[in-house]
Structure 1
């Protein structure tokens, strides 16, 4: 009996000790447990990767992405549009087109200061100059550097002569003397002052080039995206054709204002919903198409169909082809069209104007060609990835899917450049902050399209027309701005994005 009492006392004492240890910290014990779910793995990866890319600007971006995102309302022209506009206006929403016009007038009176040169590019130029200076220093003594190099100062030999001289020199040296006289190629060493860590470099090298090492390559990398020299025709020109479609009605709340979420859309008298809520970055992808009356449009990765719906709301395309590689996803496209387009399933006019198909976008073919092509490529969907555990590319079972993204994205864009007519435009967009999936894919696709198919495209700089959105959303600028496109970055005042938009016009 006594032994049982002693055991009970010991158990009670031990439980008290456990409780004291458990509640000793001010942080609840459950929060101290190691978080290993996919969304926390994604957050850790983004902290490491985006921390090296965006520096101190990443933490506020992450904080905004962890909050509820902001939406705009695209008014349905096939419903009670006037009543819908009155309803949204009464709630304090403003017309996006009007906001852009106000900002444009402001810029006319107070022109924005030119964007400062990308600090990383400037540092690379300084480093290049340093390497060139070191090359000269290796030829001339430090106390006798010429002010200007003349042709007479150099001995010019052909490649064959150089090889013969080197061969004769090596013949007269022993192995030890050859090793002692060998020089390291310092031009291939990354200078630490450039601020580029080895981890950052691994985020810019294509995983597809590292065969057999897919299990450890974090994402994919291509450091040369930021190099000025290219081995294919590349031109970046300002966009001059941009205009807001007359019939597209988009409503939003001003940046920094106390905004509320739009209520759930309601059915109109015509049985369709009155507006479509979506991220403003998705609307910008459609605006970047610069649609014209009678355009034949291809939405290569269309599901769930929001961007195609916005394109139809402009009342400009004559035909729009909505494609996706998954049957279940194309079913979502049809469902959205049924909810927003009157008599979509029964009207012959819709069957002629809207085509929904299921193909691999990399192998999509067409005999006629398209005036505009939208490539809303599959990506890491950053905001969703760090907030949800379900169906994520950071799940252990989907590692290969994540690592294959850089294999899929550039080939989708390359095929789009083939499908668009000469003079037509391709818009590439993602909902990722990754330079690999954004500028990197554009660079690889332009290169591959030229080398494989002889296609040449010009990059259109959208910075001027998109500057009129300064009072509505935040665009990456300065050292974090992409080279080829525009990047919508989430902020606490304007929690849109992330969205990347690049416009390419085929010239050959």
Structure 2
């Protein structure tokens, strides 16, 4: 079902004067900060306003704590002994075999709707106000929720002032935009065996062993990273493309399903492509690896006629958890300032390319490992706003993911407008992960 919402986007400059983040100033005598500290300063100032101070404090602790993993069992190396071994150390299966439901609901009720805006009102009147679902959408003539929080755009980094206006001013709404929004029946479970430890248990998995065929028996990854694969709704014979495939966890999970007819992978980084090849070589037999095409390329700069009916774009992002954990190759390093500030434009370009390669009736899943609404809902909005001829529909994945939420596996943020956002939580420390499914209807 869908509801019609409308917004006339006026007086944007007036809205930009709303609540601002305090500027982060630095003493000339202070020691130089590490990139991870700049990341934390940025997150503290931004996310405390987006999610509220209490919610951000909880996520902050989780992001700084030990990350939780799941084990995706390799179907080409599975043994009964392995399953018993995982169960004996306290793991439980979280994604079982598929149900008798084979496909998405083929004919859900769909209506054309005015596209609701991606930035919710993130400063409620009361600090702990109960969320009213009606506020998720913008009614005709009411632009108040849009850009209700535009942060101060300057921070001091080392001895330089960094103007972050390019990043926070990425959202530039045009006039009314129309898009269909629909819900589906829950997807069938993936044909995979996935194990993790119960809530509150932070035990480590033993390193996977190689079996007699030389393949590793399971792959360790953040369980939230499986949700984009779930959202694809893979069906036998799908032509699939992963345009940001490295390092390879999601594309490996797709290969494990053995559903695709075509499996194309690309990445812009030579080192990451090599890592991708190494992972696929460690988990897939030669005949399965031969079915996967891997290309080192910036796909946004290549024009060919290849199209697909399922596409995954796990785009480059601020990678919030890693930005707090590691200084190496950190997106918040001074030498990567321009790259970081242009992330939304880069993400929009990749998503635009993917949607242009999507066949009518097909689906693209957009994902990030960032909590930032600028990189999540805003990128989805700005991308879809740019299409004038092609028509798309956003799928509400809340019902699809509800079984995982009900068992306490994931904590989802309930104010995203288009996608689903997994919030890190100490008792089940997965994520962050944003997932949005977009289908082409014309």
What is the TM-score of this pair, normalised by structure 2?
A: 0.78
- Please say if 1:249 is aligned against 2:193: yes
| SS of structure 2 residue aligned to 1:333 | helix
- Please say if 1:490 is aligned against 2:433: no
The aligned counterpart of 1:499 is 433
Larger radius of gyration: 1
User: CA offsets per residue over residues 235-280 of structure 1, 9 Å max, x none?
Assistant: 21102362112x3111112223x24111111111111100000011
- Please say if 1:387 is aligned against 2:325: yes
The aligned counterpart of 2:132 is 117
- Paired with 1:433 and 1:354, the residues of 2 have a C-alpha distance of 31
- Paired with 2:140 and 2:352, the residues of 1 have a C-alpha distance of 34
User: CA offsets per residue over residues 186-226 of structure 1, 9 Å max, x none?
Assistant: x9xx79xx9944427x69xxxxxxxxx9844273345677x
Deviation, structure 1 residue 98:
5.1
Any conservation in 1 of the 2:97–2:193 contact (CA below 8 Å)? Answer: no
- Please say if 1:65 is aligned against 2:8: no
| SS of structure 2 residue aligned to 1:473 | coil
User: CA offsets per residue over residues 130-152 of structure 1, 9 Å max, x none?
Assistant: xxxxxxxxxxxxxxxxxxxxxxx
Deviation, structure 1 residue 425:
0.5
Deviation, structure 1 residue 390:
1.1
Deviation, structure 1 residue 89:
1.2
Structure 1's unaligned 5+ residue stretches are 1-31, 102-114, 129-186, 204-212
- Paired with 1:261 and 1:218, the residues of 2 have a C-alpha distance of 41
User: CA offsets per residue over residues 269-315 of structure 1, 9 Å max, x none?
Assistant: 11110000001111111111000001110000000111110001111
- Give the root-mean-square deviation of aligned CA atoms: 2.9
Any conservation in 2 of the 1:363–1:415 contact (CA below 8 Å)? Answer: no
The aligned counterpart of 2:296 is 358
| SS of structure 2 residue aligned to 1:318 | strand
| SS of structure 1 residue aligned to 2:240 | strand
> What are the residue-to-residue correspondences of 1:432-451 with 2, within 5 Å?
432-448=370-386, 450-451=387-388
Please point out which of 420, 423, 428 is paired with 2:361: 423
Please point out which of 72, 78, 93 is paired with 2:91: 93
Runs of 4+ aligned structure 1 residues displaced above 4 Å come to 32-35, 98-101, 118-122, 124-127, 222-225
- Please say if 1:54 is aligned against 2:54: no
Structure with a larger share of its residues in helix: 1
User: 1:282–1:220: structure 2 CA closer, same or farther, 3 Å change rule?
Assistant: same
Deviation, structure 1 residue 350:
3.3
User: 1:407–1:469: structure 2 CA closer, same or farther, 3 Å change rule?
Assistant: same
> What are the residue-to-residue correspondences of 1:199-214 with 2, within 5 Å?
199=151
| SS of structure 2 residue aligned to 1:237 | strand
Deviation, structure 1 residue 368:
4.0
Any conservation in 1 of the 2:361–2:439 contact (CA below 8 Å)? Answer: yes
Please point out which of 274, 278, 287 is paired with 1:335: 278
Structure with a larger share of its residues in strand: 2
Deviation, structure 1 residue 85:
1.7
- Paired with 2:436 and 2:64, the residues of 1 have a C-alpha distance of 26
- Paired with 1:498 and 1:362, the residues of 2 have a C-alpha distance of 26
User: CA offsets per residue over residues 378-411 of structure 1, 9 Å max, x none?
Assistant: 0000000012111111111110110111111011
- Paired with 1:237 and 1:445, the residues of 2 have a C-alpha distance of 18
User: 1:364–1:501: structure 2 CA closer, same or farther, 3 Å change rule?
Assistant: farther
User: CA offsets per residue over residues 31-68 of structure 1, 9 Å max, x none?
Assistant: x9756111001100100010110112001101100011
The aligned counterpart of 2:409 is 473
User: 1:218–1:45: structure 2 CA closer, same or farther, 3 Å change rule?
Assistant: farther
The aligned counterpart of 2:24 is none
User: 1:38–1:239: structure 2 CA closer, same or farther, 3 Å change rule?
Assistant: same
What is the TM-score of this pair, normalised by structure 1?
A: 0.69
- Paired with 2:164 and 2:421, the residues of 1 have a C-alpha distance of 28
- Paired with 1:320 and 1:445, the residues of 2 have a C-alpha distance of 25
The aligned counterpart of 1:27 is none
Deviation, structure 1 residue 125:
5.5
| SS of structure 1 residue aligned to 2:327 | coil
User: 1:289–1:397: structure 2 CA closer, same or farther, 3 Å change rule?
Assistant: same
Any conservation in 2 of the 1:77–1:313 contact (CA below 8 Å)? Answer: yes
Please point out which of 62, 75, 79 is paired with 2:77: 79
